[in-house]
Structure 1
């Protein structure tokens, strides 16, 4: 299904006020679009439900990340692209082999998250528990919530440190500016309603503070009829690519050396009146009997390679 077909199908369901679910891969090569009342058994999801209590079970997770030397080669390549003026912010990601005694089904059932998704087919086998909303539409307004900036919550004065960090401020500001421009494609009266607020996220054996912003725009009253146009025009998400978006996507494709697939793609639900969606991060997939956890972070000219490498590893967790 190409982009045009995706848009047409989403527009059709929106126009008919038909509740549906969709999952779109990062590069648009894979897509699931299904009516909620006939949803396939191989897709499970939980969205905007009340949080479960943290589990007391021991976190069983071993990580086998790429070496620091290999990461530094990618990091240095990106820094050269930034110095050449080809990009200002790039979200560099990698896949990490992991080992755990938990199956993907057990991870899905026990995960402590506002949102979780499980897909199990012959072609795709993954679980996602994303903390980052993509866009939300209600009362003829569209909202997006870019998330940039992570720090361990047990660090003394952690919130103050991350909010005063100039690299983090620059990175977050660039993403907010990019998504303001993106919303300007589909809406009017763009506003930054809340700039750089901090939320605590359960990351398994530790807690993290993550920095987000809230941006809004007004839509036409008939936005449901153009839902496909709205969603596809905003992809791929700015927070997991960079700026300028088109050139940055090309650079990332040349340096990441793996297929993101559904990782950093989009999941969404339309209930017939309102729309909610998430960026597919915090993502584990099974390939040929092995598990891989995909993670990453934003790189700017002020980034420190040791910090970025550690952040990539810290984002590999199971929030039980």
Structure 2
């Protein structure tokens, strides 16, 4: 991990340590204590997954995590007597770059009085080897997210281990031929690609062991828990032989090294907490009701009003959610870097200073008194915050080193959310429609809305009975839109720059993106019949590219149309909440002859596609471990799933808190996991922080809404957020009445007014990527949205 090394310490055998304490006249009862690793920003590395591996391998150990630039070497040395062992975490980076290794290089040369066992992983092995004279080389063929069979000497770290299949994330390796201080313990045979590559080594005198592969990866088998347990066996033996004393942990050390891993998030709940709001619900059996008709009944065609629709337009999506907004619905906007958050209600705007707090904490405080109970248990949404969060909001939480630059498509807020108090939920798998309200004594509205929904269904049934068969929906515009694609040569050149970073060991995968602009003639509402050009466009997008996580979000000044295929994160309602992430890496479009068998061969049978998916799975596991602790499992790995228009390679990762975590923590945990997981790893690459910093130098504009997430945080504690891809957005403040009247007079315009839509697209660049193929893939993704605009002209 970049700029990170993990310190582990576990206590010695209890009986031995107790005896030594008694010899010194101390009557101390010792519990095995353990590892240390460095805290924020956790999204930088795989330390959390590594910490979980050690906790699993050495039950009862304590773990602390620090960055490798967080403490001076001299200060660390003075405190090592509180630790039983040190773990040096993985990369990315180079062992010859002081910024990448920090104080790690000093650890190998520590004075004998401070000496203790050390276990290195990936960059940890390279740093150990280089420090003792090994040669650092580049692999001819980079190994990122690939599984290799490990050949090992059966003793030492690999005593009783047997077969090992291990995941590798490295472009650099070490040659130990002229390194007399180290002894190789394991190798991978890459044949003609790279020959024999060192996979594990130990120092011949000092208590240092290291592996090149990643023992914490989900696809490492045989070389994870078993090797860590062997390391701990060897470390204890060395400690006893050298009569090394480990001091009992002193609470004052928490101020230096932070709390034990993994510390649950703190929730500052007022005492006593306010009573929850009660959800009022009407349940209707309405066969075949169309979500578009419901939206139009609720006034979606009025372009000047706000509107939110989270739309399950295709399988496996199920519930579609419509917010019944009023002019008084609270709306929250915030821009990264601001010291205030804006809260708008009706015509009134108020601004609240964040002070020493963050927008994340402010929103948690906003939601706490609005918690609710009594809704239909099977419904995922009872009411709450709905909207989008930008890519840059996630980048802010990484503390990445980025320079200021321009935005594309207007000054969109980085947080744009509305609090939905009344809603309609349509269950796509049944005939049920639910009208809900969080407002007290709102029975009149619920009854009126129930009647309107029934009338909407009757009208729809009558139209189907009396109207001729509908033709395929046409584009929402008549004059051809003008499309400006990214510059092809520049994009391909930047793909090659990405690959150079990958070969240098700076990253394992980089998701390079670029914006496309679409200039569209604007449809203006008439005085008698309001008609929204963005809504008409969304209906075409929905018909031509149906998706399980679609959305129409009109939260001025931003309008977002999405046909996203990918859920990012869902968090079930407490108690016993489960957090689930479903990364998609690998897509094959349906076509004649593309059967499941063909799709599986192209996706799960592809080294490149599986490696891309695996890298994101390991990154997500790390993010989730950092919040919930040990209980993270991969429920599904690289399974081909069938969707309306595509086959996709999908993995499923789940995590949950211990059962005794407490309801207050569970109610806000989904929000904390979201904060710690943004921006989505599938849109950055891995490791996340270093990848974000590299991409910032290769992309000309902030991504804004694209690559962020949209969705909801329910008042019942659950949440569901999707990745903002296959989407387009525009910046367009609602017109004042005088502007609208002028726009309606076509005689005042030689050419009709136009509006600019922006859509982003890109792809995961790996060492195996072909630049030309990556360009074509990016264009295909753009075209999936452009089709909604009809026939277009390319500038």
- The alignment's TM-score, normalised by the length of structure 1, stands at 0.85
Task: Decide whether the 8 Å contact of 1:47 with 1:116 is kept in 2.
Answer: no
CA 100–200 in structure 1, closer or farther in 2 if over 3 Å, else same: farther
SS in 1 for 2:631: strand
CA 270–285 in structure 1, closer or farther in 2 if over 3 Å, else same: closer
Q: Of residues 101, 104, 107 in structure 1, which corresponds to 2:537? A: 107
Which structure shows the bigger proportion of residues in strand conformation? 1
CA–CA distance in 1 between the matches of 2:429 and 2:491?
A: 38
CA 249–71 in structure 1, closer or farther in 2 if over 3 Å, else same: same
CA 121–230 in structure 1, closer or farther in 2 if over 3 Å, else same: closer
SS in 2 for 1:75: helix
CA 140–8 in structure 1, closer or farther in 2 if over 3 Å, else same: same
User: What is residue 641 of structure 2 aligned with on the other side?
Assistant: 199
CA–CA distance in 2 between the matches of 1:100 and 1:199?
A: 35
Measure how far apart 1:248 and its partner are: 0.5
User: What is residue 42 of structure 1 aligned with on the other side?
Assistant: none
1:101-250 pair list within 5 angstroms: 103-110=533-540, 111=542, 112-138=546-572, 139-154=576-591, 156=594, 157-187=598-628, 188-202=630-644, 207-219=645-657, 220-222=661-663, 223-250=666-693
Task: Decide whether the 8 Å contact of 2:624 with 2:673 is kept in 1.
Answer: no
CA–CA distance in 2 between the matches of 1:49 and 1:64?
A: 37
Task: Decide whether the 8 Å contact of 1:7 with 1:228 is kept in 2.
Answer: no
User: What is residue 279 of structure 1 aligned with on the other side?
Assistant: 723
Task: Decide whether the 8 Å contact of 2:571 with 2:718 is kept in 1.
Answer: yes
Measure how far apart 1:209 and its partner are: 1.9
| Structure with the greater alpha carbon radius of gyration | 2
- Unaligned ranges ≥5, structure 2: 1-333, 337-356, 373-383, 394-412, 431-469, 524-532, 732-753, 789-795
Task: Decide whether the 8 Å contact of 2:475 with 2:537 is kept in 1.
Answer: no
CA–CA distance in 2 between the matches of 1:294 and 1:125?
A: 15
CA 77–46 in structure 1, closer or farther in 2 if over 3 Å, else same: farther
CA 4–161 in structure 1, closer or farther in 2 if over 3 Å, else same: same
SS in 2 for 1:216: strand
User: What is residue 78 of structure 1 aligned with on the other side?
Assistant: 498
- Unaligned ranges ≥5, structure 1: 40-44
Matched length: 309
C-alpha deviations, 1:50-81, integer Å up to 9, x for none? 69xx9833568875422432211110111111
Measure how far apart 1:88 and its partner are: 0.7
Q: Of residues 54, 57, 61 in structure 1, which corresponds to 2:473? A: 57
CA–CA distance in 2 between the matches of 1:259 and 1:55?
A: 40
> Cα RMSD between the aligned structures?
3.0
CA–CA distance in 2 between the matches of 1:47 and 1:117?
A: 14
CA 226–7 in structure 1, closer or farther in 2 if over 3 Å, else same: farther
CA 302–15 in structure 1, closer or farther in 2 if over 3 Å, else same: farther
CA 48–240 in structure 1, closer or farther in 2 if over 3 Å, else same: farther
CA 72–123 in structure 1, closer or farther in 2 if over 3 Å, else same: same
User: What is residue 517 of structure 2 aligned with on the other side?
Assistant: 97
Task: Decide whether the 8 Å contact of 1:108 with 1:116 is kept in 2.
Answer: no
CA 134–55 in structure 1, closer or farther in 2 if over 3 Å, else same: farther
CA–CA distance in 2 between the matches of 1:274 and 1:181?
A: 22
Task: Decide whether the 8 Å contact of 1:24 with 1:267 is kept in 2.
Answer: yes
* Greater RCO, 1 or 2 (C-alpha within 8 Å, sep 6+): 1
CA 159–65 in structure 1, closer or farther in 2 if over 3 Å, else same: farther
C-alpha deviations, 1:167-188, integer Å up to 9, x for none? 1111111010000111111123
Task: Decide whether the 8 Å contact of 2:416 with 2:555 is kept in 1.
Answer: no
Measure how far apart 1:250 and its partner are: 0.8
User: What is residue 35 of structure 1 aligned with on the other side?
Assistant: 419
SS in 1 for 2:391: coil
C-alpha deviations, 1:199-234, integer Å up to 9, x for none? 3344xxxx3322111000112443213443222111
CA–CA distance in 2 between the matches of 1:91 and 1:252?
A: 8
CA 132–85 in structure 1, closer or farther in 2 if over 3 Å, else same: same
CA 130–10 in structure 1, closer or farther in 2 if over 3 Å, else same: farther
Task: Decide whether the 8 Å contact of 2:670 with 2:718 is kept in 1.
Answer: no
Task: Decide whether the 8 Å contact of 1:47 with 1:115 is kept in 2.
Answer: no
CA 221–276 in structure 1, closer or farther in 2 if over 3 Å, else same: farther
More off after superposition, 268-277 vs 254-263: 268-277
CA 50–269 in structure 1, closer or farther in 2 if over 3 Å, else same: farther
CA 55–299 in structure 1, closer or farther in 2 if over 3 Å, else same: farther
C-alpha deviations, 1:298-317, integer Å up to 9, x for none? 11101111221111111121
Task: Decide whether the 8 Å contact of 1:153 with 1:200 is kept in 2.
Answer: no
C-alpha deviations, 1:269-301, integer Å up to 9, x for none? 233142211111111123572222211111110
Matched, 1:21 2:465: no
CA 133–122 in structure 1, closer or farther in 2 if over 3 Å, else same: closer
Matched, 1:310 2:776: yes
User: What is residue 376 of structure 2 aligned with on the other side?
Assistant: none
Measure how far apart 1:26 and its partner are: 0.8
